Amino acid sequence: MYTQAMDLPTPAHEQIAARGPMTLTEREWQAQFDAKLDRGDFIEAKDWMPDAYRRTLVRQISQHAHSEIVGMLPEGNWITRAPSLKRKAILLAKVQDEGGHGLYLYAAAETLGTSRDEMLDALHTGRAKYSSIFNYPTLTWADIGVIGWLVDGAAIMNQVPLCRCSYGPYARAMIRICKEESFHQRQGFESLLVLMRGTQAQRDMVQDAVNRWWWPSLMMFGPPDGESTNGGDSMKWGIKRIGNDALRQKFVDATVEQAKVLGVSLPDPDLRWNEARGHWDFGPIDWDEFKAVVGGHGPCNKERLATRVKAWNDGAWVRDAALAHARKREAREQRAAA
C-alpha cells in the first residue's frame, strides 16, 4: 500500500476493554460522544464514534478529496494555453493547490481507518462520487475565470462551515483549504474583470461562460434539503452546519451583487429581489440534469475518469520505486543496528 497514513489507531473502547473488567457499555460510549458534540468539542481520530458517523465522514471526505483531484483536470487543460506568463503562473499554482487539498483530505479520511488505496479504487471503479461540476467542459479561456469566480465561490460558501465540523482532522484541513480557495475565487474574479474591460469579443466570451456554468454551480450544493439523504444525520452530528438550500441561497445572494460589478447577467429570468424574504428568488434547477451527471452521464464523466485511471496506472512505477527504496533503507538500518 502506498500511503502516508499514520498507523491506524486501536479504538479507545478496545484499549480500555483490554485493560480489564471496567468496560464501558456501548450506551455509555454513545453518551460520552453525544456530550462531546453538545459541548462543541472536536471528535478526534482515536475517540470512540458510532459506525454510521465514521462511515458518513469517510464518504464525504473521500468524495471531497476526489473532487479536488478530478477538479484539477478541466483547468489543467488550459495551462499550456494561458494568455500570458502571469496567468499561467497563477493557474499552475491554483491547480497545484487543488492537488494539495486532495492530499490533506485523503490523509484526514485515512485517520478514520480507510486506506488511500481503498478510496482511490472506489473512485477508479466508479463506485465513489465526486462533484458534479467537474463533468462539464472548459471550452474557452473565460471558463477558467468563471470556474474561479463561481465554482470556487460556491466551494468556499460550502466549505467555510466545514471548518467548524465536529471531526477535528477534517475541520483543521478545511481551514487551510478555505484560505487557498479564497485566493482562487479572487483570481478568477480579477481575471474576468480584466476580460470585461477588454473587447466586445472578450465580454461575449465571459457572458457565454457564465451562461454555461451558472446552473451547474448551483447544483454543487446538492439536492434540495427534502431530498438530501445524508443531510439530517450530518446536521445532527455537526458535520454539516448549514443545509444545502441555505448555502445555495447565500451563494446566490452574494453572487448577484458580484455579477453587477463585473457587468455580466446571470441566465435566470426568475432572478429577482424578494423584499419580504430579504433574499434573491431564483428559478427552478434542472434536477434531472443533476441526477444524470451524478449518475455518470454528464458531458465529460467518461473522459475525467479515464484520465484519472491513466494517471494512476502511469504512476505505478513511482509508487513501486518509492516502496523498493523504503524497503532497502529499512534493511540497511536493520543491518547497521545488528
- Nine-digit cell string for 296: 455518470
Provide φ and ψ at 274, rounded to 5°: -110, 105
> Site for ligand BYC (CB under 6 A): which residue of 108, 294, 300, 305?
294
Nearer to ligand BYC, 200 or 229 (CB): 229
Provide φ and ψ at 43, rounded to 5°: -90, 130
Q: Mark 83-121 as b/e (b = at least 16 C-beta within 10 Å).
A: eeeebeebbeebbebbeebbbbbbbbbbbbebbbebbbe
Rounded to the nearest whole angstrom, what is the least distance from the CB of residue 228 to ligand BYC in the complex?
3
> Site for ligand BYC (CB under 6 A): which residue of 48, 53, 57, 68?
68
> Site for ligand BYC (CB under 6 A): which residue of 111, 187, 228, 301?
228
> Site for ligand BYC (CB under 6 A): which residue of 234, 249, 255, 301?
234
> Site for ligand BYC (CB under 6 A): which residue of 73, 218, 219, 300?
219
Nearer to ligand BYC, 122 or 266 (CB): 122
Helices 152-159 and 244-262: crossing angle in degrees, nearest 10, is: 140
Rounded to the nearest whole angstrom, what is the least distance from the CB of residue 105 to ligand BYC in the complex?
9
* 115-174 residues near ligand BYC, rule: CB under 6 A: 129, 131-132, 151-152, 155, 158-159
Instruction: Please give the size of the binding site for ligand BYC, defined by CB under 6 A.
Output: 29
By C-alpha distance, which of 61, 64, 35 is closest to 48? 35
Q: Mark 32-50 as b/e (b = at least 16 C-beta within 10 Å).
A: ebeebbeeeebbebebbbe
Give the binding site for ligand BYC (CB under 6 A): 59-60, 63-64, 67-68, 71, 98, 129, 131-132, 151-152, 155, 158-159, 219-223, 228-231, 234, 240, 244, 294
